[in-house]
Amino acid sequence: MSGALESGPTDRKGIGLAGAVAIGIGGMVGGGIFAVLGEAVSLAHGATAVAFLVAGLIALLTASSYARLSVTFPSQGGTVAFIDHAFGRDFITGTLNLILWLSYLVTLSLYAVAFGSYALTFFPGQHGPWLRHLLISTAIVLPVIINLFNAEIVSRSETLIVVIKLLMLLVVIVSGASYVDTGRLNPDHWGTPFSIVSAGMVIFVAYEGFELIANSAGEIRNPGRNLPRAFYISVLLVILLYVLIALVTVGTVPESRIAAARDYALAEAARPALGNAGFTLVAVSALLATFSAINATIYGNARLGYTLAMEGELPDILDHRAWNEPVWGVLVTGGLSLLMANLIDLNAIAIIGSASFLLVFAVTNMAAARLAPRTGGSRALAVTAGLACLAALAVLLTQTWQSSPRALWVFFSFIAAALAFELTYGRLRRKPFAIARRRGNRAANRP
């Protein structure tokens, strides 16, 4: 199968290398960097750029597994399909697929909280918490309405918004470079090695998104050549982008000011070079970027829920369509994320999101190791990537236990809820699917 794919279709239809790279960069440079930069500085201090580099290297290792899996098993299911191919559909894989679905809800909540934080900067003065919750809720409710009635807006606008985000970040980097005080980057101002790695893992959610390339694998021209290049190029470019942003932020803004503006630290990074106009420019760009990321995440997660419901892993209601859209998938995605965004603080959401994706990526890397004979990939590299994800997860959980035990309990509650759901509904619901599949296999094998 891999060989056939490597020869690839010769027609000019589909997504080229540049388009695939844009999908990966757009998926990563969403709302994450706007939300978690301040969290990283609070832990790594002057070594924030190192923290982003450490997280990026783990993402790059995992991208190598996704590259091989995507070429051999092109599917809109992406991660879900890879895990099922490697381990079959059973209790564990069903639970992991549900955790993946929940993980996207967490990232959606992260983007909404970031939207609320940046939007709040346009309302100076004293105001109660009601305004923040109103802004957070608006950031979810409006995209839900858009996805229900005109989902095509999501795909049509995404490329333009990706370009705007990248241009804005480049403006911050270029304008701020000459204002960097290298003394603030001196190792004397670094956090401990453990806190630096912890910072990288807290903000790992900012790298989540490169796996979206896998969901488009079936539409990419010459996949044997373009898919691996798209994964590597997009992750490497985003690592470079994030490291430069971290250097400019820490080098130009006093840490006390970053701490005071932790939820909108990226806007503060534009102020030394560009003044209040720069702050406003970044804040507006952040609103656009996070709103777009929420829109796209609702769009994608509703369709992931639809796929899982069709396979019997989520309730049937999620596979109901109206106006050719998975209406209940959109409503459930919006409703659950609305609760999370308003009940859990930004730091906890970032931790839960990063931990969830590290767990899913660890399993995906192990899937790549198991399928290495079929993909032609390196089993040792895939195992190394999987162990790196697990080690990173252990560091993150240890740090969270020391600094934010409530977030740790919320994360374990997510795992427990996924296990309980799969143990009850999932196993019972999937029995008819398993019986039908066995009957179909027997019929296909009859002479």
Look up residue 14 and give its DSSP letter. Answer: S
Residue 438: its pLDDT value, please? 43
d(CA 61, CA 57): 6
Beta-ladder partners of 225 = none
pLDDT for the residue numbered 380: 95
Q: Each residue's pLDDT tens digit in the chain (447 positions)? A: 333 333 344 344 567 888 888 888 877 887 778 888 888 888 898 999 999 999 999 999 999 999 999 999 887 777 888 888 888 877 777 788 888 888 888 888 888 988 998 999 898 876 778 898 999 999 999 888 887 776 556 556 666 777 887 888 888 899 888 888 888 888 888 989 999 999 999 889 889 888 888 877 777 888 888 999 999 999 999 999 999 999 999 999 888 888 888 888 888 888 888 888 889 988 888 888 888 778 777 877 777 777 777 666 666 666 565 545 667 778 888 888 899 889 888 778 888 888 889 999 999 999 999 999 998 889 999 999 999 999 999 999 998 888 888 888 888 888 888 888 888 876 666 555 444 444 444 444 444
Q: Which domains does the chain have, with CATH numbers?
A: 2-431 (1.20.1740.10)
CB 44 within 8 A of CB 51: yes
pTM equals 0.83
Contact 241, 172 (CB under 8 A): no
pLDDT at position 3:
35
Beta-bridge partners for 325: 322
pLDDT score at 53: 95
Q: Answer whether 326's CB lies under 8 Å from 318's CB.
A: yes
Contact between 358 and 204 under an 8 Å Cβ cutoff? The reply is yes
Handedness of CA 24, 105, 261, 58 (dihedral sign): negative
Q: Can you give the pLDDT at residue 158?
A: 64
The rounded distance, in Å, linking the Cα atoms of 45 and 24 is 28
Look at the block and give the residue holding tokens 């970031």: 114
Spatial distance between the Cα atoms of 158 and 362, rounded to a whole number of angstroms: 29
Find the angle CA(55)-CA(360)-CA(425) to the nearest 5 degrees. 155
pLDDT of residue 5: 37
Chain CA centroid to CA 391, Å: 19
pLDDT for the residue numbered 442 = 42
